[in-house]
Amino acid sequence: MAIRPLHVCIGPTGHIVQVGKSFCKLGVGNPTGARFLEVFEIMRPTKPASMSELRGLAGQVLRLRLRAEPGLGLRGLVVDDQAQGAILDLSFGIAVVDAVQRFGLTARDFASSDLVMELLFLQEAKSSAMAASFSLNARLNGARLAAETDALTDGLTGLHNRRALDGALSRLGKSDTEYAILQMDLDRFKQVNDTLGHGVGDTVLKRVASILRSQTRQDDLLVRAGGDEFVIVCPGLTDHLRLTSLAAGLIRNISEPAMIDGQDVTIGASVGIAVSIKAARGDPASCVSRADVALYAAKRSGRGQHVFWSADMGDTLAELVLPVP
């Protein structure tokens, strides 16, 4: 019979005379010379009071535990050593996985024929499979989030795109939140593209995106709607003075001359603003249309300025009537 490396040999006097090479890993030191019943507590099926009673249990499995580690349950097969002593062939039973992790045991701490090796192999395979599954799920979730982000982001400026705008407007339409929408076009941008090239034009658009981020709140939705058209959705912001300050700051900063690729570039911006009203709060698309009307009015009035939508302008560009100065 192959004895496990965790065996304990007990002499005729009831003292431990030898332990397996892996026993000392259990954190109790080397108990050689100590009385067996001072090191171990036998739980069941019976508690022998003498060596003769212990040898009489040969072939049976005892449930026992180390007195120094009461939480560590062990099983011990009693073997008569034919010299008035006994050998306990120890194992951990179903707690083997916890024991391996707790005490840093390896395959060398178990007999090669021990079925526990199969269990450890299965546990390792399961752990590896779970780790691989977790890693795969993390990669898939990362890829999904990246794809969703890409689908809602303008590739050049990193701002949101029209798809993101549509989603935000849909959510606003289902809420009671007041909001303002700013439509902004760049002035003289086409001239920059035509004379200095699209590379410079792209840099200008990135600069504008940076200005938008620096001038707006974290909760505001910044959208490049296409070309040199931008939309800002400001949930919870309807105060005309604050909106005036925002629009004026955007126009002022965007109109500052910039040196790009050795070229002195100057553009401008016009802004149309529409504030949600209680009767039409559930229809953000109408608010977007009104902001577009106000933007057109700003451009018609000389560019480089902002205009608030008013009812006398109409709801669409086809109805636009400019206020009399």
Q: Are residues 60 and 82 in the same domain?
A: yes
Q: Please, what sign has the CA dihedral across residues 127, 128, 132, 133?
A: negative
Q: Are residues 187 and 284 in the same domain?
A: yes
Q: Are residues 173 and 311 in the same domain?
A: yes
User: Which of 301, 183, 206 lies closest to 254 in space, CA to CA?
Assistant: 206
pLDDT of residue 270: 96
- In a domain, residue 325? The reply is no
Q: Are residues 166 and 308 in the same domain?
A: yes
pLDDT of residue 246: 96
Q: Are residues 277 and 295 in the same domain?
A: yes
pLDDT at 120 over 60: no
Paired with 88 in beta bridges are: 8, 78
Distance (Å, whole) CA 130 – CA 136 = 10
pLDDT at 319 over 70: no
CA 193 to chain centroid: 41
pLDDT of residue 283: 80
CATH of the domain at 306: 3.30.70.270
Beta strand spans in the chain (E): 8-10, 16-19, 40-44, 61-66, 69-80, 86-91, 179-187, 221-226, 229-235, 258-260, 263-265, 268-275, 306-308
Q: Which residues contact 303 (CB under 8 A, 6 or more apart)?
A: 187, 268, 270
Range of the domain at 248: 162-319
pLDDT of 222-269, one tens digit each? Answer: 999 989 999 999 999 999 999 999 999 999 999 999 998 888 999 999
- In a domain, residue 70? The reply is yes
CA separation, residue 116 to residues 80, 94, 120, 196 (Å): 24, 9, 6, 75
- In a domain, residue 166? The reply is yes
pTM for this prediction: 0.56
pLDDT of residue 144: 59
More confident residue, 278 or 236: 236
CATH of the domain at 80: 3.30.450.260
Distance (Å, whole) CA 201 – CA 246 = 24
> Which pairs from 152-155 meet CB under 8 Å and 24+ separation?
154/223, 154/224
pLDDT of residue 132: 59
Q: Are residues 308 and 207 in the same domain?
A: yes
Q: Are residues 194 and 220 in the same domain?
A: yes
Q: Are residues 178 and 312 in the same domain?
A: yes
64 and 43 Cβ atoms separated by less than 8 Å: yes
pLDDT of residue 262: 86
For the ranges 82-86, 96-100, 137-141, 190-194, the lowest mean pLDDT is seen at: 137-141
Amino acid residing at 46: T
pLDDT of 83-115, one tens digit each? Answer: 888 888 877 766 666 667 677 776 666 665 554
Q: Are residues 206 and 304 in the same domain?
A: yes
Q: Are residues 73 and 185 in the same domain?
A: no
For the ranges 29-43, 173-187, 237-251, 272-286, the lowest mean pLDDT is seen at: 272-286
More confident residue, 297 or 123: 297
For the ranges 91-100, 191-200, 268-277, the lowest mean pLDDT is seen at: 91-100
Q: Are residues 188 and 284 in the same domain?
A: yes
Q: Is 117 exposed, middle or buried (0-12, 13-18, 19+ CB in 10 A)?
A: middle
Q: Are residues 213 and 273 in the same domain?
A: yes
In three-state form (DSSP H/G/I as H, E/B as E, the rest C), the secondary structure along 247-286 is HHHHHHHHCCCEEECCEEECCEEEEEEEECCHHHCCCHHH
For the beta carbon of residue 212, count every other beta carbon within 10 angstroms: 22
For the beta carbon of residue 12, count every other beta carbon within 10 angstroms: 14
Total domains present in the chain: 3
- In a domain, residue 279? The reply is yes
pLDDT of residue 324: 42
36 and 8 Cβ atoms separated by less than 8 Å: yes
Distance (Å, whole) CA 38 – CA 61 = 19
More confident residue, 148 or 28: 28
Q: What is the mean pLDDT of the chain?
A: 81
